[in-house]
């Protein structure tokens, strides 16, 4: 059974994670195009949940996906910058 939090307890804080350069570039590109990451991902046949995980460094994209994003963005989001 899950323990319920009372008002006095503070929620756990998680350490902030720096975003990969590629993700930051992708967010900037989306803002310029007037799109959200979710809409951009759907437009290009990608899963926005996966992009979110890549952006938070929980996972890395496979090489094929990173290269695909590089092609779609005309090299603005480089495949090597997901590290």
Instruction: Give ∠ CA 75-41-52 in degrees, rounded to 5.
Output: 95
Residue 18's pLDDT is 86
DSSP assignment letter at 24 = H
Res. 13: pLDDT tops 70: no
Tokens representing 25?
């570039």
Q: Which residue has the higher pLDDT, 67 or 11?
A: 67
Helices 21-33 and 48-55, axial angle in degrees (round to 10): 130
Res. 60: pLDDT tops 70: yes
Q: Name the percent of the chain lying above pLDDT 70.
A: 80
């Amino acid at each position: 059974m899950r323990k319920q939090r009372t008002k006095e307890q503070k929620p756990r804080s998680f350490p902030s994670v720096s975003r990969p350069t590629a993700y930051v570039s992708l967010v900037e590109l989306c803002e310029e195009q007037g799109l959200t990451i979710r809409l951009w991902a759907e437009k290009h046949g990608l899963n926005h949940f996966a992009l979110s995980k890549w952006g938070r460094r929980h996972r890395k994209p496979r090489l094929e996906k990173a290269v695909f994003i590089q092609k779609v963005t005309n090299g603005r989001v480089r495949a090597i910058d997901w590290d």
